[in-house]
Amino acid sequence: MTPPYWRERAPQPMVSRVSATPRTWLNFGRVRLWVIAREGAGLAIDLGRVLALLPGLERARAEEGPGPLLSRVRAQGRRRKVRSQAARTRLTRAIAWVDRFGPGGANCYRRMLLRLALDPTAASEPVIFGLDVPEGKGHAWVSGHETPDRFDVEFRIETGAGERSM
C-alpha cells in the first residue's frame, strides 16, 4: 500500500513537445542520461583503442626513426572512420589519460603518434617538431593543435613528405 503523499510526488513520464510519445530516459535538467551513456561508451571504446595500440607503438618508437614511423602511422590512421569534432575531442582526452601513465610519463611525441594512428583527419594534417636549442627541449604536435610555446627551430613535415608507398 502506497502512502497518499507518494502518489502525488510520483514521477510522471515526460512528454516531448515535438511528439506525444513519452521519453524513455530520465532527465536531469538539460543533461539527459542517454547522452551521458553514449559519451561514456564512446570514451571507453577510445580508451580501449589507445591501450591496444600503445605497446606496438612504443616498440616501434624505440626501434624506428620518425620518417618511417610517421608514414606507417599515417597510413594506419587514414584507414580509420572519419570522426566528428566531438569524437576527436573525446579521443584527445583518452590519449592524454593513457599517455600520462605511459612508460617514462607523459610524452608529446607518443600523443602525436597515437592521434595520427587513430584519427584520419589528423593523419592528413602536417606534423610539427619544435626545438628550443639553448634549453635542449622540444615538442611535437599535429598542425591545428598549436602550442602557445615559441621554439627556436620548427620542422614541419607535410603529409606525403618523405613517405614511401607500401
In a domain, 122, yes or no: no
pTM comes to 0.72
In a domain, 39, yes or no: yes
In the chain, the percentage of residues whose pLDDT exceeds 70 is: 72
Which domain does 70 fall in, by range?
28-106+154-166
Say if residues 152 and 120 touch (Cβ distance below 8 Å).
no
CA angle 51, 109, 57 (to 5 degrees): 40
24: pLDDT strictly greater than 80: no
In a domain, 96, yes or no: yes
In a domain, 101, yes or no: yes
Say if residues 36 and 27 touch (Cβ distance below 8 Å).
no
DSSP conformation class of 80: S
In a domain, 43, yes or no: yes
When pLDDT is averaged across residues 122-142 and rounded to a whole number, the result is: 88
Per the structure block, which three cell numbers stand in for 105?
610519463
In a domain, 123, yes or no: no
- Phi, psi values for residue 26, rounded to 5°: -70, 150
In a domain, 14, yes or no: no
pLDDT band at 76 (very low <50, low <70, confident <90, very high): very high
- Domains: count for the chain: 1
